[in-house]
Amino acid sequence: MISLGIDIGSRFIKALWLENGKILKLKKTETSYEPLKKCEEIINEIKTEKIVATGYGRHLFAFNGDIPTITEIKAFAIGCKALFPDCKTIIDIGGQDTKVINIDEEGNVKKFEMNDKCAAGTGRFLEIMAQVLGYSLEEFGEVKVDLTNPISISSMCTVFAESEVISMIAKGIPRENIALAIHKAITKKVIAMLKKISIDGNVVFAGGCSSNSLLQNLIEREICKKLITNPLSPFAGAFGAAIYGDKIIKFQ
C-alpha cells in the first residue's frame, strides 16, 4: 500500500511516498509557473493507492480529480507529531506564509496563527533580502555573525525593508550585519505570533526555512528553548498528507 502526500507550496512542491507507513521516497521540486504539470510528473513516478494534497496549491490540484485535500496547518500537525512525538508547538516558515501551531496529545490542532496577506516575515521576504545582499538562499542562513550585535531594521514591510537595507549598504555597513538585522526582523514577527498561541513543550521548526540555522539560533535565543528540527522538517506537510492518505486507505 503506497500513499503519496503532496505539499504544493508557493516556491516548492514537496512529495513524500509512504509504503505501509514507512517512508519510501522524497522529492522536492520548484513550483514554477506550471505547478499542475509538475504535480502530474510526480504522480506518475510511482503507482500509489491514495494521494492527498496540501499547501497553497492544493485546490488547483484537487480540482483535476478525486484528490482529497487538507490544509497545511493540519498536515504539519500530523507530520510533526509523527516525526517528533513529543512536539507540542510548531513553527512553520514557508515561502509566502508563516504559521505557528499548538497541537494536543493526539496531534490535533489546538490553536494556530497565520500571517495575513503581506509577505512580511515569510521565506519570500528572506529570499528578496538575500538577493539584495548578493547571497544565495543557502548562504544566507549560514552567515557567520555576532548574534549580540545590536543592529536592527525597523520595517517589516518587504518593500520598505528593502529600501532600508539599500540605505544601510550605502552607509557602508558590512553585509553580514545587515543579514543579521533581517533575520532578527523575521524572528520578531515569529515571536509575536508565538505569543498569541503558547510556547508549549517541545517546539518543532519546520517548513522551507527550517534549514536556516541563523534564524533557528535567533528564535532559540528569544524563547530560551532549543528548536527541534531535522532534514525531514521541510517535508513535514507532505508527510502529514501522506499519513492522512494512509489512514483513508485503512479506513476504507
Q: State yes or no: residue 144 binds another protein (CB under 8 A).
A: no
Q: State yes or no: residue 155 binds another protein (CB under 8 A).
A: no
Nearer to another protein, 109 or 133 (CB): 109
Q: Provide long-range contacts, Cβ within 8 A and 24+ apart, for 163-166.
A: 165/129, 165/132, 165/133, 166/132
Alpha helices in the chain (DSSP H): 35-43, 58-62, 72-83, 123-132, 137-140, 158-170, 175-196, 213-223, 236-251
Closest CA to 75 of 10, 7, 155, 175: 7
- Residues numbered 74-103 forming contacts with another protein, rule: CB under 8 A: 74, 97
Q: How far is the CB of 100 from another protein (least distance, A)?
A: 12
Closest CA to 209 of 141, 115, 135, 156: 141
Region of 107-115, 131-139, 213-221, 225-233 interacting with another protein (CB under 8 A): 107-115
Q: State yes or no: residue 115 binds another protein (CB under 8 A).
A: yes
Q: State yes or no: residue 110 binds another protein (CB under 8 A).
A: yes
Closest CA to 115 of 53, 72, 154, 82: 72
Backbone angles phi, psi at 4, to 5 degrees: -110, 125
Question: Which residue in the set 23, 109, 151, 191 belongs to the binding site for another protein (CB under 8 A)?
Answer: 109
Q: State yes or no: residue 73 binds another protein (CB under 8 A).
A: yes
The site map against another protein for 26-65 (x = CB under 8 A) is ------------------------------x--x------
Q: State yes or no: residue 248 binds another protein (CB under 8 A).
A: no
Report yes or no: 2 and 24 within 8 Å, Cβ to Cβ.
yes
Interaxial angle between packed helices 175-196 and 158-170, expressed in degrees from 0 to 180 and rounded to the nearest 10:
150
Region of 21-29, 108-116, 166-174, 204-212 interacting with another protein (CB under 8 A): 108-116
Residues of this chain that interact with another protein (CB under 8 A) are 56, 59, 70-74, 97, 108-110, 112, 114-117
